[in-house]
Amino acid sequence: MNVNKNPPQLGRPVAIPESPDQAVLDRVPNPHKGTLYVTRFTAPEFTSLCPVTGQPDFAHLVIDYVPGDWLVESKSLKLYLQSFRNHGAFHEDCTVAIAKRLVNEIEPSWLRIGGYWFPRGGIPIDVFWQTGAPPEGLWLPDQGVAPYRGRG
C-alpha cells in the first residue's frame, strides 16, 4: 500500500498487474475526514476466469464505502480490478476478496460490495458482503442493479 499524497501510478503509464496479489492499491488522505459520506465505485464490466473451466466470468460490481482517514486512489483500484482478468476464482471468492483487501488497505468506517454476476450454467450468482451495519444517519442509495431476469 502506498501512503503517498502523490500516488506513483497516477499520471503515468502503468501495466495491468499480472494478478490481484501483485496489484498495488494507492491511498490518499481523506480531505473530509470526520464527515459522513459514501464513495461509490461501479465496475460494470468486471471480468475474471472460472477456476475450473478457464472460461471468462463477467460481473457488475458496486463498491460503496464510508471513508475514514484514507481514500483509495481510483486508478490503482481500476488496475487492481483489471488484474482479475487472468485470475481464476469463484464468484464468491472474487467479490469478498476485493472487499476485504479494500478494508485492509484503506480502513474505511464502513464498506459494502455487491457482485452481480452474469449467469454461468444458467444460474446467475449474486454475492453481497459488508463490514457491518451502515453508520447511523448515512444516506445510502440503492446499488441500482436490477436482479437478473433473462428473457422472462
Listed residue (82, 93, 96) closest to 131, CA to CA: 96
DSSP structure string for 131-142: SSSPPTT-----
State residue 122's pLDDT score.
Answer: 84
Segment 34-50, tens digit of pLDDT: 999 999 999 999 999 99
| Catalytic residue status for 21 | no
* Mean pLDDT for all residues in the chain: 93
State residue 92's pLDDT score.
Answer: 97
Q: Which of 21, 26, 57, 126 is catalytic?
A: 57
State residue 120's pLDDT score.
Answer: 82
Q: Which of 21, 26, 50, 64 is catalytic?
A: 50
What is the residue extent of each domain of the chain?
26-130
Task: Please report the sign of the dihedral spanned by the C-alpha atoms of residue 95, residue 148, residue 43, residue 52.
Answer: positive
Say if residue 6's pLDDT is above 80.
Answer: no
Q: Which residues contact 43 (CB under 8 A, 6 or more apart)?
A: 59, 60, 61, 62, 63, 81
State residue 11's pLDDT score.
Answer: 78
Say if residue 12's pLDDT is above 90.
Answer: no
Cβ-contact 29, 70 below 8 angstroms: yes
Say if residue 2's pLDDT is above 80.
Answer: no
| Catalytic residue status for 69 | no
Assign domain 26-130 to a CATH class: alpha beta
Cβ-contact 39, 73 below 8 angstroms: no
Cross-strand pairs, 29:
70
- Helix, strand or coil, per DSSP, at residue 126: strand
Helix (H) or strand (E) holding 81: helix 74-82
Segment 130-140, tens digit of pLDDT: 999 999 999 99
Task: Please report the sign of the dihedral spanned by the C-alpha atoms of residue 18, residue 61, residue 1, residue 75.
Answer: positive
